[in-house]
Chain A
């Protein structure tokens, strides 16, 4: 048992007032889980961690997936990870994030991972959420993930490569580590990385490391559900300055709880299924319905049809019993602490209740996640529960429309507006009036809120433009 995960924050020299360095053990465990799942929906055997009795600053990884079919890529990845667990070499894993620099001052954007003897350091946030590309064997820039970077670095250690650049065999060592990384890429159904062009990688890849909860719940960071969320992130949310600031807030709030949720899911298939059916898939469907509302705000019947009929092929939500959907609604209401009942009364498994409690606690301090994720989800599932089994498509559409018109103008402004110049705010609102805030009622409600939030000086400066754009 030689894979150790550093858990204790690491004391730093020269900055007592700054405190110790955080090493992100939850994210490291999550990335090990993604490697062990190796592109499938299953995690064979139980992957446990326990405090290392010899050094309580570390967790020891315990994992035995049983016999593996090494004719498959997934089997090869699992066998290799198992070999690493059983290896005589030590692997001490450190998750590092923004603010970490290597010894010469180079940043994680410059080098995503490295080794010093048995200590392995890698970027757990994958370029601060921007993603990272590597050169694929098809010649294209293809995305990589933090789990891929970790497996690459573990490959170096497993293969006994000497540390650093002192070796003249650097090029060969890198090719070999890319080979290890490619085992995982193949298992995940991705284009392999070109070992002959290993230095060609850099930050900025819209497809990578999105939505870790959806990745674990759906079994892969490259599932259709995660692709749908990536599309929304990259082609709607991050196309304006306002959207990018909102994304930054969502990103920091999301990582306050997502790894805890994923850890529970990795240990409980039932909780994983519930998160997939009650949160991930309905969330994507709610966004699809919200997009339809934004495009055709007056088409009530079409909106009702969109909400009540499935927009994702073979969505398991449609096959849920009504009672299960109601449980999902209760679960979401409980997250917002709006339900008179509690999830404990719904005969849920302990892991799902633990996820509910974890989310509930964090959401109190996550206004952007609550607005961007939980509120539209609630609107969607409430509509489904209320109108399921009825022929009242138009009523369902009207109900959902009203919920959208309450939800959209309620975007949290307190932390977003101070970050933006007048020009950026107006440009963002102008663009969003064509894609998100298409309804004049929504624009007017939002304009009033913006106006009330701004200082009188700023308000005077932009009121005319807001009025011209229909926001007042």
Chain B
């Protein structure tokens, strides 16, 4: 866990959040006001849409994920793609998410169905982005890669409304 000063030196802002070309485009400005370089996960690891509340969660983070959530599927987990940000600099993370999402829903008998998720119905977006002052390195003594990834970095959260007026 990082100190409060680490968290205070790093900030996230939403520059753009709108539908375009069949995608939801979110431009995030990440600022590093500290004295050391930081690393940030740069693309969504998970996409969760709560149809009831209309909130779309974009997880540039492995927090909150457990193996039990994936009965029967997904063997291989990749390291998160990360971008480095030098001290006292900022950068824009361009996030593109297709509005037509298909989720694999496994059944106990090893069959499945596919669920269609229409992201144009989303009203708000919550972005969760993990940053740290060092990249992720897998620990070979600990085989649960999911747990290791979930503990990497400090999470920054930000909310945004989807700009429908300027969609093109």
- Chain A positions near chain B (C-beta within 8 angstroms): 10-15, 17-18, 21, 96, 98-107, 109-119, 121, 132, 152-153, 156, 161, 163-166, 168, 170-171, 173-174, 177, 196-204, 418-419
Partner of B104, one of A112, A116, A153, A199: A116
Q: How far is the CA of A117 from the CA of B21 in the complex (A)?
A: 36
For B87, list chain A residues within 8 Å (CB). Answer: none
Check B134 for interface membership: any CB of A closer than 8 A: no
Of the candidate stretches B3-11, B31-39, B110-118, B155-163, the one touching chain A is B110-118
Check B59 for interface membership: any CB of A closer than 8 A: yes
Q: How far is the CA of A132 from the CA of B76 in the complex (A)?
A: 13
Partner of B74, one of A114, A171, A197, A201: A114
- Chain B positions near chain A (C-beta within 8 angstroms): 21, 43-48, 59, 65, 67, 69-81, 98, 100-106, 110-118, 138, 140, 143, 145-146, 168
Known: A114-B76, A118-B110. 12 other contacts (CB 8 A): A99-B98, A101-B102, A102-B74, A106-B70, A109-B78, A111-B77, A113-B75, A116-B73, A121-B73, A164-B71, A166-B72, A200-B138
In the complex the two chains form, is A105's CB within 8 Å of B140's CB? no
In the complex the two chains form, is A101's CB within 8 Å of B104's CB? yes
Q: How far is the CA of A112 from the CA of B100 in the complex (A)?
A: 19
Q: For residue B113, which residue of chain A has the nearest CB?
A: A13
For B140, list chain A residues within 8 Å (CB). Answer: 196-197
For A104, list chain B residues within 8 Å (CB). Answer: 46, 65, 69-70, 74
Q: How far is the CA of A105 from the CA of B61 in the complex (A)?
A: 12
In the complex the two chains form, is B79's CB within 8 Å of A200's CB? yes
For A204, list chain B residues within 8 Å (CB). Answer: 81
In the complex the two chains form, is B78's CB within 8 Å of A165's CB? no
Q: How far is the CA of A10 from the CA of B102 in the complex (A)?
A: 10
In the complex the two chains form, is B102's CB within 8 Å of A99's CB? yes
With contacts A114-B75, A174-B75, A199-B145 taken as known, whether A106 is within 8 angstroms of B114 at the C-beta atoms is: no
In the complex the two chains form, is B72's CB within 8 Å of A102's CB? no
Q: For residue B109, which residue of chain A has the nearest CB?
A: A117
List 23 interface pairs A-B (beta carbons < 8 Å), by A numbering: A12-B114, A14-B116, A15-B115, A17-B118, A100-B104, A101-B46, A101-B104, A102-B104, A103-B73, A103-B106, A105-B48, A107-B45, A107-B46, A110-B80, A111-B78, A116-B73, A116-B111, A119-B112, A163-B110, A164-B67, A166-B71, A177-B75, A199-B77
